[in-house]
Amino acid sequence: MSQQVNQETSAAGGVNRRSVLAGLAGGVASAGLLAPSAAAGTTGAETAGRPERDQRVEALLGRMTLAEKIGQLQLVGDETTARAALAGGRLGGVFSVVGAAKLNALQRIAVERTRLKIPLVFGLDVIHGYTTNFPIPLAQGASFDPAVAGTDAAVSAKEARSSGIHWTYAPMMDVTHEPRWGRIAEGYGEDPYLATRFAVAKVRGYQGNDYSAPDRVAACAKHFVAYGGAEGGRDYNTVDVSLHRLHNLYLPPFKASVEAGVATVMASFTTISGVPAHGNGYVLHDVLKGAYGFRGFVVSDYTGIEELILHGLAGDGADAAAAALPAGVDMEMVSTNYARFAERLLAERRITRDQLDDAVRRILLVKVRLGLFERPYVDEATEVKAPSPAALAASRQAAARCMVLLKNDGPVLPLAKGIGSVAVVGPLGIATYDLNGTWAGLGTGAGTTPPVTVVDGIRAAAPGAAVTYTPGCTVEGTDTTGFAAAQQAARAADVTVVVVGETAAMSGEAAARSTIDLPGVQQQLVAAVAQTGKPFVVVLVNGRPLTISSVHEHAPAILEAWAPGVQGGHAIADVLFGAVNPGGKLPVSFPRAVGQIPIYYNHENTGRPADPANKYTSKYLDLASGPLYEFGHGLSYTTFRVDGLRLSSTRLPARGGRIDVTATVTNTGARAGDEVVQLYLRDPVASIVQPVRRLRGFQRVTLAAGASTTVSFTLTPDDVGFYDNAARFRVEPGKIEVYVGTSSAATLSASFTVG
């Protein structure tokens, strides 16, 4: 597809991509890639999409003093600082303070003792549960069922709002090709389409149709943008990205979330091609607030504005504030540069009154939409302090739905419910809070109910079996003296379940790993159990893809359970014993070795693609090409066939066209099960080299043994188009290849022509 047809469509809020992005790209060429908006000829709120006008907000703005306006831009993270700021009427919100009584007490000061009685907004990292922990987001992505994320968000919102929390710093929608990065656990993997579907589902789950409702909270799309591209997988590190990759890979989930009505956005800690996100007017002002028409407010990440000094963009706090506010950061978390310097910066004309008013207006509008002026307090008698039976059941169902059967030779699984004896081996066999994973809400606090262990889950699933537990080793230790006892237990049992992986602290923020093997001597433990010759299955509990080539070699069966949440032990047992037939798929590639990283399915081709028969091609001398397990991989206890691929047309008009793609999926096995039918596209010839495949559709279906169904997908020009290096969206005429199957290695194919 070498000829060009520009597809200039109107962005949300009526801002045309050509006027904002194409024009900007010309300024960028001379000012430096992704230069701040000032360098590109734009100035703060004057040209950004403005929030809608609300009479109450406008009336408040007219009455507010300069100090009161600046105060609304401040967000603090503890009660003492909050009370001090409230004494002067200069505070917009509080985060990380929990408990209805504490939050009501702070709110009373704001509403009853300050001049304008503007309520505070209370935020918290409610990532995959508040009192009820669901599987981590990466696991949810493995379900290939956005309803899982929606359910998690709805349950979490209801629990959090009951305690006075109005605002969650989720969902994280950072696409990443870097499994060493600990925060891969918080997102949905390596694919922008998958991340988009899940991000939108979670935004809607948190906010519902009206986030003033007593069971909803305001969501926050984070981290804007390209945080997942941090070099070396080291948290907070540099990101150097082209415009086309920024818009094609990292931005799609954010754009879709804005269209879904997300209330707030959080800036990224990282630089983006030399300009830190907190001072990057291109991404925040021109793209987010301009092209996307975002009407909510942007919050800094923790001390992100202060960190502009260490980044080297600002010489001091005044410089940092002068960079961040015009760039588009409306509320400052923890650091106090706006509070200390905004008045001076106005006098010096380094920021404008319009920029300040725009930020305040955005914050007040979210507070209005939260219903805080009508209902500033929460009923302390109805605070949810423990998971309900319904929430626990939802978490258990979600966890089982997220698990991925990586291997099942024999087959070893499912285990017979009447089995006589089971040996559970491995340091995570009786783990509790490690099953919650990173960002566990209130799920690890004092007085909380610990997650169900794997041992207890197996005992409940097979009450007639003799179940033993032997740790064998610790997660990170080097002591192998427990191997002998583990082998003895395995020899004495009908089957062994080896539970290995990572602790909760080994993934998440500030949890980068230089290697992603099983920590400690767990890999050797698996090999020791294999030496017994008895049947066994490995259960992985982890927050990232691992390099498990040795485990793959030794273990007949491997179940990826991720960090499954508060009902993890029950959910794992549900899958092991066949009460649930696993249907999850990998949302991220599993590398063979850390030296392969980055490895991902949607890569661009080279002029010399890997060829094992030709040394002078793109590959390693000492490693097979491709991942150990590809994106979209996942097995079942039954088998499926996908065939009958049909296209409604062989031509897609570049403007307003559509093609319906259908295929038949059949359960060819002896038991009911789930399959995820996946649709990928390839544009073999384009003005910007395209990925070898791009996911553009998926459907998870449940079929009885022998049953068939037809799955259908609709393709439009948006599915075949892409952004170029001037940030213009292009739909080019030419051939498009379609692949349908059960992973990114799908072989069933057809093609159509655009134009």
What is the per-residue DSSP string for 78-109? Answer: SHHHHHHHHHTT---EEES---HHHHHHHHHH
pLDDT digits (tens, 9 = 90+) for 566-616: 999 999 999 999 999 999 999 999 999 999 999 999 999 999 999 999 999
Picking from 326, 357, 437, the residue whose alpha carbon sits closest to that of residue 65 is: 357
Asked whether residue 398 carries a pLDDT value surpassing 90, the answer given is yes
Q: What is the pLDDT of residue 106?
A: 98
The span from the CA of 20 to the CA of 42, in Å, is 10
Residues 120 and 235 in one domain: yes
Picking from 214, 241, 184, 536, the residue whose alpha carbon sits closest to that of residue 374 is: 214
Q: In percent, how much of the chain has pLDDT > 70?
A: 93
The span from the CA of 218 to the CA of 161, in Å, is 10
**Residue 583 forms part of a structural domain:** yes
Peptide bond preceding 411 in cis form (omega within 30 of 0): yes
Residue for token pair 């079996």? 465
Residues 250 and 292 in one domain: yes
Return the bridge partners of 405, or none.
559, 635
Q: Which amino acid is at 85?
A: A
Q: What is the pLDDT of residue 52?
A: 73
Asked whether residue 45 carries a pLDDT value surpassing 90, the answer given is no
Tokens at 611, concatenated: 């060829």
The span from the CA of 189 to the CA of 633, in Å, is 13
Residues 339 and 424 in one domain: no
Domain of residue 710, CATH code? 2.60.40.10
**Residue 152 forms part of a structural domain:** no
Residues 64 and 181 in one domain: yes
pLDDT digits (tens, 9 = 90+) for 80-125: 999 999 998 899 999 999 999 999 999 999 999 999 999 999 999 9
Residues 92 and 224 in one domain: yes
Question: Number of folded domains in the chain?
Answer: 3
Residues of the domain holding 64: 32-126+167-190+202-375
Picking from 268, 120, 96, the residue whose alpha carbon sits closest to that of residue 187 is: 268
Domain of residue 172, CATH code? 3.20.20.300
Give the contacts of 459 (CB within 8 A, at least 6 positions apart): 465, 467
What is the pTM (predicted TM-score) of this model?
A: 0.94
Backbone angles phi, psi at 202, to 5 degrees: -75, -40
What is the per-residue DSSP string for 136-194? Answer: -HHHHHHTT-HHHHHHHHHHHHHHHHHTT--EE---B----S-TTSGGGGGS--S-HHH
Return the bridge partners of 642, or none.
665
Residues 281 and 367 in one domain: yes
**Residue 138 forms part of a structural domain:** no
Residues 696 and 730 in one domain: yes
Local confidence band at 46 (pLDDT 50, 70, 90 cut-offs): very low
Query: Which letter, b or e, does each residue of 76-96 get, where b requires 16 or more Cβ atoms within 10 Å of its Cβ?
Result: beeeeebeebbeebbbbbbbe
pLDDT digits (tens, 9 = 90+) for 602-621: 999 999 999 999 999 999 99
**Residue 13 forms part of a structural domain:** no
Local confidence band at 560 (pLDDT 50, 70, 90 cut-offs): very high
Residues 318 and 234 in one domain: yes
**Residue 148 forms part of a structural domain:** no
The distance of Cα 742 from the centroid of its chain, to the nearest Å, equals 22
Tokens at 78, concatenated: 């503890």
Mean pLDDT confidence for 396-411: 98
Residues 264 and 347 in one domain: yes
Domain of residue 529, CATH code? 3.40.50.1700
Domain boundary among 328, 348, 375: 375
Q: What is the pLDDT of residue 498?
A: 99
Furthest C-alpha separation in the chain: 80
pLDDT digits (tens, 9 = 90+) for 146-155: 999 999 999 9
Q: Are 449 and 459 in contact (CB under 8 A)?
A: no
**Residue 568 forms part of a structural domain:** yes
Residues 368 and 397 in one domain: no
The span from the CA of 621 to the CA of 429, in Å, is 38
**Residue 380 forms part of a structural domain:** no
Domain boundary among 591, 612, 630: 591
The span from the CA of 509 to the CA of 512, in Å, is 8
Residues acting as catalytic residues:
301
Q: What is the pLDDT of residue 49?
A: 61
Residue for token pair 């305690």? 163
**Residue 599 forms part of a structural domain:** no
Residues 369 and 430 in one domain: no
Residues 342 and 397 in one domain: no
